[in-house]
Amino acid sequence: MNRLTNTLEELKNKSKKALVAYLVAGDPDIETTLELMTVLVESGVDIIEVGVPFTDPIAEGPIIQKAHDRALKNNVSLKSIFEMVDKFRKNDNDTPLVLMGYLNTFIFNKALIEDNKNDVIDSVLVVDIPGELKLKDYGVYNPNINTISLISPTTKKDRIESIAKNSSGFVYYVTLRGVTGASNLDVNEISSNIEEIKKHASVPTLAGFGIKSAEDAKLLSQCSDGVIIGSSIVQMIEESSQSKEFDRISTYITDIKKAIS
C-alpha cells in the first residue's frame, strides 16, 4: 500500500491529526536536506513535502522563493532529488514523501516519475494547476504515486466535488488568498470551506499556507485532518544554514505536534 494512504489511515484510526513539513530540496545543499529530513521525522513529522526548486515559483512568498534560488545555485534537479530520496529510504521506509513543485518540471521530467526507481516517492503535488487537471493527461503518471489537488478559498462550490475526486492522497486546502508564508488567516472561512470539502472527499483534507505558530496549527487542526508547515521551517533552515545546528527546528516541530495532539 502507498505509504501516504497508509499513514493517513493509521492517523485516522488513532483519531490523530497529520503534521506535514515542507522543505526545499537542495537548500542549503542536498546533503543537508537529507539530514534535515531525518531531523523532521525524529521531531514528530508524519509526512514530508519535498519542494522541487523552480526558476519561477509563482505561488511562493519571499522566504520560499529565496530557498528555491539557493537550491538552483547548487544545480539541484529532479534527478538529483530522486538520488537523495533513494538514500533517505535506506534508513526510513515508512515516512511518506510528497514531491511538491511546478508543472513544467514534472512534464519535462515525466520519465523520472514514471520510473520512480525503488518506489521511493509516494505522491506528487503541483501548485500551478487548477484542481481538476489530470496530470496523467500530460504524461505525468505512475500508478503507485498519488496526486494531491488543491482547493482554495476562491474555489466555487460547483467545482469542489470534481477536485476532491481528482485527489488521491489528500486534499490540500489553501487557507488564504495569497502566496506561501503570508499571514491573513480567516479561521471561520477556513472551517466552513473544509466542512464543504469533507462532504465530497473520500480522502483526508489537510490545511496549509500561512500556518506559523503552534496556536495557528492548533486552531486549524480542529477543523481539518492535519496541517502543513512550510515557510517557518524554511526560514529556520536559512538562519541555521551556516551553523548546521537544527535544534530550533526540532523544538518548533515538537511544539506544533503537541499543539495538534
Nearest CA to 6 out of 149, 204, 229, 243 is that of 204
CB nearer to other proteins: give 34 or 107: 107
Contacting residues for 155 by C-beta, under 8 A, at least 6 apart: 131, 163
Can 60 be counted among the known catalytic residues? yes
Minimum separation from the CB atom of position 9 to other proteins (A): 26
CB nearer to other proteins: give 182 or 214: 182
Minimum separation from the CB atom of position 195 to other proteins (A): 18
Minimum separation from the CB atom of position 13 to other proteins (A): 30
Residues that bind other proteins (CB under 8 A): 54-62, 65, 69, 72, 77-79, 102-105, 107-109, 127-131, 133, 149-156, 159, 163, 174, 177-179, 182
Looking at 14-155, list the stretches that DSSP marks H as alpha helix, in order from N- to C-terminal side: 30-43, 62-73, 78-91, 103-108, 110-115
Can 31 be counted among the known catalytic residues? no
CB nearer to other proteins: give 107 or 214: 107
Q: Is 28 exposed, middle or buried (0-12, 13-18, 19+ CB in 10 A)?
A: buried
Contacting residues for 13 by C-beta, under 8 A, at least 6 apart: none
Indicate which residue of 49, 161, 196, 239 is catalytic.
Answer: 49
Minimum separation from the CB atom of position 63 to other proteins (A): 12
Catalytic residue numbers? 49, 60
